[in-house]
Structure 1
């Protein structure tokens, strides 16, 4: 549950071992407390550009972590809206200074600490327009918090699956291009290649102009070095997005991220979730349902989100579907590089050949409505079901069960991925 981050007990009974030894948060004196904090800081390889906040500063910046400041809740902890000095760390009056998102760490043991460290160490070094900016951090005793730039439009997941109005086609393609640029930077341009490992709609955040930025680097890994072809790691990620060869072997490569990108592109094309138990049998897994439609013209139109009502580029949708199929190749070596994905996506936001003016598409629509009078209403009802029930994604593929609170509260502002929620 969210609320004040004070007075929470620590409980280090995690299934994972941390990156480095975690110092016990149980302290018997101020000297020991200071020693704990300094040892924790030694684990950080943070860039000097990050600001170091006191816990009290962040408490005041978020108005004591009050419920009205809550932006979202996920597996990492809760995210609160706050206001700080433009170039400092002191709290300021709401609506002034710099608006930030303050992420708190649930006191749930070693795995949380490991992810917190990964987040600071990766985003402390990585700067790119399509990665969310980490402004600073706080370590005091058992308190660990992160301070990010505020992303006013929330997540792609929110816009695709929780809003009444459909996200326009050109904006979908703009978001796809921005997210692809973020992954391409991590794989091919960063000083040390990075595998993101948790690419999905809830981790793509949007600024006021719908520019996409990747958030949540808690599962990111350094890519293979030298003559190594992959990184061997515990299988973690989110059901429906993780590449099949990674799930089966634990061998992680940048092509695992490319597969996840293909899934998200398919979600943007179809308006369907990667995994959706509310769909009819045979349609629960988006990738398996979509595969036969991707390369065939008559079936292809049935892929496109019916809520767009023909307001999409025919050529753009065909190219996006071909690209998704390429990214979703069962053989990882056949998948494109993310830089190639970026080049393929660049023209798509600006194409104007709208399907609604196509005779062929109008005929298809008439056929569809003729065979299923309630087709469009059914989709809207489906969205309503999703909206009420929330989603049933899982972050750790290796955790068979678990019980956690709903991943987000009303504002649906996910700066962190959902944990397993115990639903089948």
Structure 2
């Protein structure tokens, strides 16, 4: 591992030296100013990065704003009013030399005729060598990223050696939420912004979302709409779907609740099938929506119940209430503290997590099955969500009482 990193470090130093000697490769024609925003991370990271996208758009108002993202998140950014052009770049090769060639060709094709003022990687997507090459070959005058210096080993062997590719590096010295880190990075660049995350969708997305819900209007009428999201991107983050079903079954015995399942992929479909086997009345829209349609359906729900995943951050951006179950605990090292770095931001969704790491997971739970997360008691999740539902009912009753007094 260390030998590999030293060899890679020497290779990267050589690349930076010879690129400086060779100089920039641009056309002689007058060039329009541009900004390159890079977020090729999963959906949740894309949502948390919107603070940076908005801040950069305001700071470089007249520039052409490129968003470089993954194929999965293309429509999410295309629905944004901030992006002028959304480009997809997938990391299809793994050798560093081939990655460099792929990125150089991509940058030459898209950025050669632009005067790139800034290339930035939000802190939600810590730069790897692919992103480092992307900012480097964009030709940007300023190249910004974050570096987690609070983890000395990771910083020395991984992120630290990429810092030289950037002109502006925000050195994160303590663990904090990624939204706060992104704000600090913007501040480093002299950009002022607020701590609000956003989601993007279109009128067509809303129309199609309404059409998906239309057959279920009678089932939804007068009920609390609970968005259930059991699948995450990592099996170790997955709270057992049977526990989610049991929690919902108990809640439905006392309250008028409609469960709506959303998500993508084979695992999500399998979990939704297991949930519906326990609660046949659940509305299963798994693998039936685009990101924009999912956003519009979540907008119409009232509460969230699920794991640490992209749709959680959509629900948070839409100011939903609910419960999210995390696998990390306070005793784990900084890089594993998901409940601190990615908890639901500025909303009514509370987090439930293990009290401590189980044996063998002191450096973070990386098992290939649910492990540390199993310590979270279903009874505690039930009580937390039940309490929120009760509080919401009291607020609703109070509002209705006010209306009744006015009418009388």
Does the pair score TM above 0.5? Answer: no
Whose Rg is larger? 2
Normalized per residue, the structure richer in strand is: 2
TM value normalised by structure 2: 0.24
Task: Answer 1 or 2: higher relative contact order, Cα 8 Å, separation at least 6.
Answer: 1
Per the normalisation by structure 1, the TM-score is 0.24
